[in-house]
Structure formats: C-alpha cells, structure tokens
C-alpha cells in the first residue's frame, strides 16, 4: 500500500506519514471505514505518543509484536529475504533513488506474479481470487 525508506533511523513522523499514505491509498480517505489493525514491532517510532494519536485519528488499532519473540518477525524477514534474493540482487542499484524508483514494480510483481510456496505456488492476488 505504501512504504518508507531511510538511510537513518525511522522516526515517529515517518511512521505517521506512512500510516496516512496507507489509509489514503487503501480507503481513499484519512479515516478508515472500520477499525483496522496496524502491526509493528516495539521500536520507539512505533510506540511514540505521536504515532498512537495519529493511529487513533485514522481509525487504526495499534498492535505490537511480542518483545524478544523472533518468530513474530518471521513473515517480515522472509519478505525482505525474498526481495533481496529475487529482485535487488538482479538489478543494478546505483543509489537509493534507484531502489525507490524500482520498489513499486517489485511490489507489484511480488503480489501479482511471484509464486509463494505458502500459497500453493500462486501469487497472493491469484490465491485470493481463487479463494473468493
């Protein structure tokens, strides 16, 4: 739906901007039509008061992965590994701007074409369309 990238640390302001961008992209508004869960780790940017206030205003319900529970980050880690192995490694990446320019196409491919073993070797969108 949206993403953010930085070569420095993630700030609460960046998280708030990301939440707004996700809501606007998904719902076409800055308020969800129903409560939506927003899962993150326990980093300071995600647990900040500013983040909680923005989430509440958007209709997002903040949820956090358990502290010191590496299994909770497993899905994100697998995604990052796949992105590096199947996309970044195959591209000429001169700088951060190049990566940011390529991300939309990589995400689109990952969601519409790339086979996922956990989804019977279907892409997420193909799997969802067959499940509906």
58 and 40 together in one domain: yes
In a domain, 6, yes or no: no
Domain limits at 81?
72-131
Which of 84, 79, 115 is CA-nearest to residue 99?
84
In a domain, 16, yes or no: yes
User: Using an 8 Å Cβ cutoff, are 110 and 80 in contact?
Assistant: no
Task: Give the per-residue pLDDT at 68.
Answer: 73
In a domain, 1, yes or no: no
17 and 48 together in one domain: yes
Residues of the chain with pLDDT under 70: 70, 72, 132
Q: What is the pTM of this model?
A: 0.74
Task: Give the per-residue pLDDT at 27.
Answer: 95
Task: Give the per-residue pLDDT at 66.
Answer: 82
**Angle subtended by helix axes 74-86 and 96-112, to nearest 10:** 110
57 and 21 together in one domain: yes
Query: What is the rounded distance in angstroms from the CA atom of residue 53 to the CA atom of residue 59?
Result: 10
79 and 127 together in one domain: yes
């Amino acid at each position: 739906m949206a993403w953010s990238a930085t070569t420095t640390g993630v700030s609460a302001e960046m998280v708030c901007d990301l939440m707004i961008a996700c809501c606007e992209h998904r719902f076409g508004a800055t308020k969800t039509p129903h409560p939506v869960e927003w899962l993150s780790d326990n980093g300071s940017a995600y647990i900040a008061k500013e983040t909680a206030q923005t989430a509440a205003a958007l209709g997002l319900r903040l949820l956090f992965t358990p502290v010191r529970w590496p299994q909770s980050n497993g899905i994100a880690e697998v995604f990052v590994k796949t992105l590096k192995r199947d996309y970044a490694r195959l591209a000429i990446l001169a700088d951060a701007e190049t990566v940011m320019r390529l991300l939309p196409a990589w995400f689109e491919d990952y969601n519409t074409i790339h086979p996922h073993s956990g989804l019977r070797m279907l892409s997420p969108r193909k799997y969802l369309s067959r499940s509906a």
